[in-house]
């Protein structure tokens, strides 16, 4: 569709002409190209492009546009704010024909439009394109987009990819750039394939430092870092850590409250076979899919641990 110039012109000088002999699919496409018998003009901002359209296609294809057109009354122009003209062109073509030839480059912004205007068929089409493009470099940004556009299937698809490649994904710089909701969605996964829980802690700590910078807070001020990590820390499975790692690496960072430290350190002293006697505590203790070699001296890494309070 990037080569279709007619729709990009102001409706004052349409160059394409209507032809009665087109096939049905071609006639639908040409209706949009020529504006033949149009009954509404879309004013696309910020470019200022004016596109003649037919209300029935917009109203039948999008409940959002239907509502806007109905509330627009008898006005002959409808303003559409904050859209890329070429992407909106592809969006309109789907409303007219039920088909799209969008490629990877336009799939994400087109997904945003399809979500905003509740065009589910186009939404699913874009998701299928994006599924075939997942890499370690783009999976976090695509996962974030899935979360933003609330496409459950795409969220789960990208999340599975993240979990299967967790060690590399958690070490990436882009991990520190995640929104809070995306971060929590990832680190709460049981299927996160990491060497051990320290990998998760290290990644979350790096995220916290980056979040302090985003909020213009001094990360050297412990209260600032604790504030940024209040919610993420609850999803780190401290009970599954090697006690030595916890004592030598986690505790000195002073990110946990005193009562949390006492509970965790005390639980490490209780033999695994007796931990079921402890009252359920603050932190999740369900094992993940740890990939690191486990030492028989530390069964804590492979057992579900309950922390007393």
What DSSP element (H or E) covers 309? none
- Rounded CA-CA distance 304/285 in Å is 5
Predicted local distance difference test score (pLDDT) of residue 16: 55
Calculate the CA 55 to chain-centre distance.
Answer: 32
Six token digits for residue 199: 């990998």
Cβ neighbours of 114 (radius 10 Å): 26
Cβ neighbours of 63 (radius 10 Å): 12
What DSSP element (H or E) covers 49? strand 49-53
Calculate the CA 170 to chain-centre distance.
Answer: 16
Q: Single out the residue of 252, 253, 304, 254 nearest to residue 283, CA to CA.
A: 304
Paired strand residues for 42: 51, 78
Residue ranges and CATH numbers for the domains of the chain are 1-99 (3.30.710.10), 102-164 (no CATH), 188-309 (no CATH)
Sheet of strand 40-44, all strands in order from the earlier edge strand to the far edge: 49-53, 40-44, 77-80
Predicted local distance difference test score (pLDDT) of residue 267: 76
Q: Single out the residue of 214, 207, 247, 250 nearest to residue 229, CA to CA.
A: 207
Handedness of CA 104, 106, 112, 116 (dihedral sign): negative
Kindly report the backbone phi and psi dihedral angles of residue 149, in degrees, each rounded to the nearest multiple of 5, phi listed first.
Answer: -95, 0
- Find all residues with CB under 8 Å of 3, minimum gap 6, and list them: none
What DSSP element (H or E) covers 77? strand 77-80
Q: Which residue has the tokens 């070490």?
A: 171
pTM: 0.75
Identify the DSSP state of 47: T
Cα end-to-end distance, the chain, whole Å:
62
Q: Single out the residue of 183, 180, 126 nearest to residue 153, CA to CA.
A: 126
- Rounded CA-CA distance 221/228 in Å is 11
- Rounded CA-CA distance 50/195 in Å is 56
Six token digits for residue 89: 């062109």
Per-residue pLDDT of the chain (309 residues; tens, 9 = 90+): 444 444 444 333 444 566 766 688 888 888 998 889 999 999 999 999 999 999 999 999 999 999 999 999 888 999 999 999 999 999 999 999 999 988 888 899 999 999 999 999 999 999 999 998 899 999 999 999 989 887 888 999 999 999 999 999 999 999 999 999 999 999 999 999 999 999 999 999 999 999 999 999 999 999 999 999 999 999 999 988 888 999 999 999 999 999 888 888 877 887 766 766 666 667 877 778 887 744 444 433 333 333 333
Kindly report the backbone phi and psi dihedral angles of residue 53, in degrees, each rounded to the nearest multiple of 5, phi listed first.
Answer: -135, 175
Predicted local distance difference test score (pLDDT) of residue 2: 40
Paired strand residues for 78: 42
SS3 117: coil
**Burial of 219: CB neighbours in 10 Å, binned 0-12, 13-18, 19+:** middle
């Amino acid at each position: 569709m990037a080569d279709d110039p007619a729709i990009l012109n102001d409706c004052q000088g349409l160059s394409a002409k209507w032809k009665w002999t087109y096939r049905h699919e071609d006639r639908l496409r040409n209706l949009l190209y020529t504006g033949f018998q149009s009954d509404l003009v879309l004013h696309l901002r910020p470019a200022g492009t004016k596109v003649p359209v037919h209300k029935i296609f917009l109203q039948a294809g999008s409940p959002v546009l239907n509502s806007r057109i109905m509330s627009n009354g008898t006005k002959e122009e409808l303003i559409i704010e904050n859209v890329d003209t070429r992407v909106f062109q592809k969006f309109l073509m789907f409303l007219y024909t039920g088909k799209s030839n969008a490629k990877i480059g336009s799939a994400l912004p087109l997904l945003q439009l399809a979500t905003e205007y509740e065009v589910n068929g186009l939404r699913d089409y874009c998701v299928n394109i994006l599924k075939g493009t997942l890499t370690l470099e783009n999976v976090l940004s695509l996962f974030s987009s899935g979360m933003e556009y609330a496409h459950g299937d795409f969220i789960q698809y990208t999340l599975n990819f993240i979990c299967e490649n967790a060690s590399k994904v958690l070490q990436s710089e882009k991990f520190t750039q995640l929104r809070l909701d995306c971060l929590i969605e990832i680190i709460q996964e049981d299927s996160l394939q990491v060497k051990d829980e320290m990998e998760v802690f290290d990644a979350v700590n790096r995220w916290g430092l980056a979040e302090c910078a985003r909020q213009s807070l001094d990360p050297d001020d412990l209260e600032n870092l604790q504030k940024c990590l209040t919610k993420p820390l609850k999803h780190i499975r401290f009970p599954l850590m090697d006690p030595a790692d916890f004592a030598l690496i986690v505790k000195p960072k002073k990110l946990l409250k005193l009562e949390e430290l006492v509970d965790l350190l005390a639980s490490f002293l209780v033999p695994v076979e007796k931990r079921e006697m402890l009252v359920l505590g603050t932190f999740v203790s369900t094992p993940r899919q740890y990939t690191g070699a486990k030492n028989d001296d530390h069964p804590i890494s492979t057992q579900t641990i309950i922390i007393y309070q």
